[in-house]
Structure 1
Amino acid sequence: MSRSHRLFQLMQLLRQGAGPHTAAELAQDLDISARSVHRDIATLREMGAIIDGEAGYGFTLIEDNALPPMGFRDTELEALVLGLREVQQIGDPELAEAAAEALRKLQARLPDRQAHRLRHAVLSAYRFQRPQPPGIALADLRRATWDEVEVRFDYCDAKGAVTKRQVKPLGLVYFDRSTVLIAWCGLRNDVRVFRVDRISDFEATTVSFRPQRVPMLRDALTQMRADRVACAPDPYTSSYKPET
């Protein structure tokens, strides 16, 4: 196999699924060594592909310079409109405004026919009962999660007891009645689920846990699915040890 063909095949593999794809898996699929995979990843990055990840944690294709920047089927566009309007209903003010701005940008960049379809979309979303408002600025929590730094906060449980926590934030989940933070809790030495409306005195630290967030979140979600959280009458009744 020529190197140019191998690079093409590697890009095809990176495009499949959400990732991350480990070097060992890619090497097996391409019948080459993991060391060759790392060299080829570096080459693809030099060619303009944006690939996240590093040795030991796998690689994820973030942006593919070979694909056109915009192009949606009508049903894909309807799904985007519905999803963004749902975010406007359940998101915090910054996230809701970002969703509205994304809709405006889509409308400005789409072909005329699809822009008309977006402007007069037949799908919408409305929540009569929105999640409880957060006690903190969720934008700060999202930023700390993306930056992969530990955060501190006070947490009030259902009985009114307040404890101080330092956690590794992994991701946010929007349930019907509340928004929760999935995090590795230093106090419990385990993954916990925190309702954001019960968090106060939030502070981002400078303690980094990069690049552990993605594999930790993947493991946490796998465990949640195994516990069949989605099938439980109350998402907080799973064996996932929620901090209710």
Structure 2
Amino acid sequence: MSRSERLLQLLQLLRNHRYPVSGADLASQLNISLRTLYRDIRSLQAQGAQIEGETGLGYVLREGFVLPPLMFTPEEIEALVLGARWVSERTDSELAGSARQALAKISAIVTPALRYRLDESPLLVGPTDSSLLCQQLVLDIRQAIEAEHKLVIHYGDQNGRQTERTIWPFAIGFFDQIRLLVAWCELRKEIRNFRLDRITNLQTTGNKYPRRRQTLLNEWYRQNNISRQ
């Protein structure tokens, strides 16, 4: 592996960790010595990468430094195409448009060979049940999540009984058969899952909920024993 390839791989490893990762772990994954790792980190910092941390505490890459897009591999390009096609078919119109725009931006700067992979990828996304789309509902919920605003919903259980809930939405799960809204429910005083196809009415309140979205999401991860990098 050339030094430039190693530096790019180091950047990618740092991008994969939202929290500080030790130098020993990074050196092990790159199969290099700690001395070489420290030298590489200094080189990246000199080139503008905002890598924070120090020996013994770990390192984290702050937002704002972009990997050169020309370094995408053919497999990475096809993964992006497949993901963008999935988003285009199974989410709201805003996200679908953003997925197409992202591919257009990538197409404008990659090599001709990779552009061919973008345009002619054989990886296809099959049709989905149109009843799962709920495009306007998904858009309204996503906007509420972004703003950390409470929602008032009318929700039907599996027996058809309706209840009115004030909820704090913080995540949406896109599954093959259902779409789930994850939110704190003021009625139940706990985090609950709500099927989008059982929401019969939704009202945006414009009122912020008292806890941060990320705090609620982290709590949900802990409750479900899901680890995060």
TM-score normalised to structure 2 length: 0.67
- Mapped partners of 1:18, 1:164: distance in 2: 40
CA gap of 1:62–1:162, structure 2 versus 1, over 3 A, is farther
Q: 1:116-155 alignment to 2 at 5 Å?
A: 116-129=116-129, 132-134=132-134, 136-155=136-155
> Structure 1 residue 81 and structure 2 residue 81: aligned?
yes
- Mapped partners of 1:140, 1:166: distance in 2: 15
- Mapped partners of 2:89, 2:135: distance in 1: 18
- Mapped partners of 1:214, 1:60: distance in 2: 19
CA gap of 1:113–1:204, structure 2 versus 1, over 3 A, is farther
CA gap of 1:16–1:115, structure 2 versus 1, over 3 A, is closer
Aligned residue in 1 for 2:32? none
Asked whether the equivalents of residues 144 and 204 of structure 2 are also in contact (C-alpha less than 8 Å), the reply is no
Superposed CA deviations along residues 11-65 of structure 1, whole A, max 9, x for unmatched, are 97x92544255xxx99xx9xxxxxxxxxxxxxx9xx89599xxxxxxx9833326
Aligned residue in 1 for 2:202? 201
Size of the alignment, in residue pairs?
Answer: 186
- Mapped partners of 1:192, 1:158: distance in 2: 15
SS of the residue aligned with 1:19?
A: coil
Asked whether the equivalents of residues 131 and 175 of structure 1 are also in contact (C-alpha less than 8 Å), the reply is no
Structure 2 unmatched ranges of 5 or more: 1-9, 26-44, 53-59
- Mapped partners of 1:50, 1:131: distance in 2: 45
Instruction: Give the C-alpha shift of residue 73 in structure 1.
Output: 1.3
Q: Which runs of 4+ in 1 moved over 4 A?
A: 47-51
Structure 1 unmatched ranges of 5 or more: 1-10, 30-43, 52-58, 227-244
What percent of counterpart residues are identical? 30
Instruction: Give the C-alpha shift of residue 138 in structure 1.
Output: 1.7
Aligned residue in 2 for 1:240? none
SS of the residue aligned with 2:62?
A: strand
Q: 1:1-244 alignment to 2 at 5 Å?
A: 15=14, 17-20=16-19, 61-64=62-65, 67-68=67-68, 71-129=71-129, 132-134=132-134, 136-199=136-199, 200-209=201-210, 212-225=212-225
Asked whether the equivalents of residues 136 and 201 of structure 1 are also in contact (C-alpha less than 8 Å), the reply is no
Name the aligned partner's letter for residue 165 of structure 1.
R
Name the aligned partner's letter for residue 14 of structure 2.
R
TM-score normalised to structure 1 length: 0.63
SS of the residue aligned with 2:121?
A: coil
